[in-house]
Structure 1
């Protein structure tokens, strides 16, 4: 669904979106993205290179991004409206009144392959914090969730080897989610909430949201901004990682900064071969691998096959030290952090530099 051409201010755009929600049966999709480098023109050029049309002149402070695709011999038109976060220059928001299916078919898969772009993903602990924050709002309740079993470190669950995926709608959705989480290792991928007389919406761990009803400005301020606040500290620490060589006269000066992740459950020396296979199966290809017993068990350079970025990894089985290579984007380190949490140990944490 396309918004009328208008020289919108940001506030006018939000008001228009709220009016559309009231007057139509459409849902508003909001996708939060992180882009490094934080350059508007570069991001718009990326969308153009991906086959999108970009209109920077007819919508005021908002940029319209559109595309078409075929579904069952029917041409679907998809419209997005791009804004930049007012505080965090690397964060962008995309709004659309198209369906979730349209979003998946035209945007979400492409984000996976764009070198400097990624979702503002929430890891399980942060997603759980967002859920609890929403449930503290008076009268709020869960109506639906979609959950999957993930590895949960030392915490045991019933029949842990079995794959589980559950979609659940019911009056007891909150209690059922808690039971499935603690007894069967099922973690929510998305959750639907109702706040009586205010809003109905769905949150997704990948940082995108569906607003069924409610005021858009209030939803952004109370829900979306809270999710950003939950993840921004970890992301900022990851973004500090760098590897530069500068020349001063005839002298080369190395300027490097690593980022560290720590597992709850240590990986033993004999388990690292399996670890490298799991990496490969999840789009991370190691080369120059060194695997020996000692204080540093594992070291390698890693190619993010989806993003094309390269970074180095060293590990003693408990901590992983990461340094980006060849001016690679930090979004691949965010992806590797996600890989460790979702495939190795849910309790993996970012180790903060105290200097």
Structure 2
């Protein structure tokens, strides 16, 4: 293995599912508490922040989502189809450069409800697992992270995660692996792990919270932006009323945004990936390849040299994604499971 090896790991929803599979071996009810495949299934249980009453996804609290057909009893394909319609509408509308919303633009108003809903949904999920169990240390991903952190030959580990949750951060903390989230915070000189969350996170907060009792959905502006330097990272007391929601829903294309916090993240990790060359490693795990977010993934794939080692981990491989990877990389390996990471030689 060469000195100063760089590693880039791109994580999607499959990473969270893999983690929950591990948890479910000891806590069989975890799948009743958390469902990251069908994002509306817990909508009736989710509590409205200001009064703590269940029924967040309802005619009462999210009327525009409801009128478009959002229901807790929808199957996951129906749910994703509706989310995709909403987000696609917003993506195209954003090209106009407008930020105001009229009362007739129901898909845009539903988008505002969706971002609020997703924030509190993933905070709700996070609270279902109070501690990261000791068994995590024998999980394939945990062992791999530890190996990367301890290797004197690995210079830097860039992790781009599209997950809103903070399981990854909690896992790294459990493993005593230092990490930072540029440019919001910076680790010590020994810190190898750089985390980037271009679709946002439940841990992102803007300045001071407002009273939770005053929580309401802001329908006035399509998007509320701020500098990444104004974002604080918090892992405790997440269920608050923060002025800005730092989430881009599934199928949202951050490449359409040229300014703001997510643009500043891309401006850091994209040049880093362009420096990847032969013997450097990229691992992609649990990533979707829908038509509305392909450009975002493609932008990562075309950045490094075609000589890098490319590993894709996914039990259900998208055939179009497969053809793209095969066309771009000479040293490509596909694995059905992360278990192989226990034997993978860096």
- What is the TM-score normalised by the length of structure 2? 0.25
- Bigger CA radius of gyration: 1
Higher strand residue share: 1
Higher helix residue share: 2
Higher relative contact order (CA 8 A, sep 6+): 2
- What is the TM-score normalised by the length of structure 1? 0.25
